[in-house]
Amino acid sequence: QVQLVESGGGSVQAGGSLRLSCAASGGGYTAYCMGWFRQAPGNEREGVAAIVTGGYYTNYADSVKGRFTISQDIRNYTVYLQMNGLKPEDSAMYYCAGSVSNVGCRSLTRTDFRYWGQGIKVTVSS
């Protein structure tokens, strides 16, 4: 059973930084693509960033380009999302997701990801 567990969320003032982590466990699973999504109350879940295993390809939503950075530690099966210059509109539940193909990394579309974490809350105050 594949499990994705997020950590590192919390509350921060506008302009601050947070780093989210996603630890993957469960035998027999190799993620070709790992991503971060977020969902604010009343909104659809949207793709934020994704990375192909090996790190040679990353993709970002326009709203976070230049502020967020996705990275991974392959040996520890962990993916990170460094969030700098946070804005109140970044407040949301953030979800880690895994895909068995590279399609999700290019599309940043929810339906292209098979595995999901439980989510972690990020609140940015003005």
Kindly report the average pLDDT of the chain as a whole number.
93
Indicate whether 25 pLDDT > 90: no
Q: Residue 55's pLDDT band (boundaries 50, 70, 90)?
A: confident
Strand partners, 49: 36, 60
What is the DSSP code (8-state) at residue 33?
E
Q: What is the pLDDT of residues 61-88, one digit of tens each?
A: 999 999 999 999 988 889 999 999 999 9
Q: Mean pLDDT over residues 28-36, rounded? A: 79
50-54: long-range pairs with CB below 8 Å, 24+: 50/104, 50/105, 50/108, 51/79, 51/105, 52/102, 52/105
| pLDDT at residue number 29 | 58
* H-state helical runs in 9-57: none
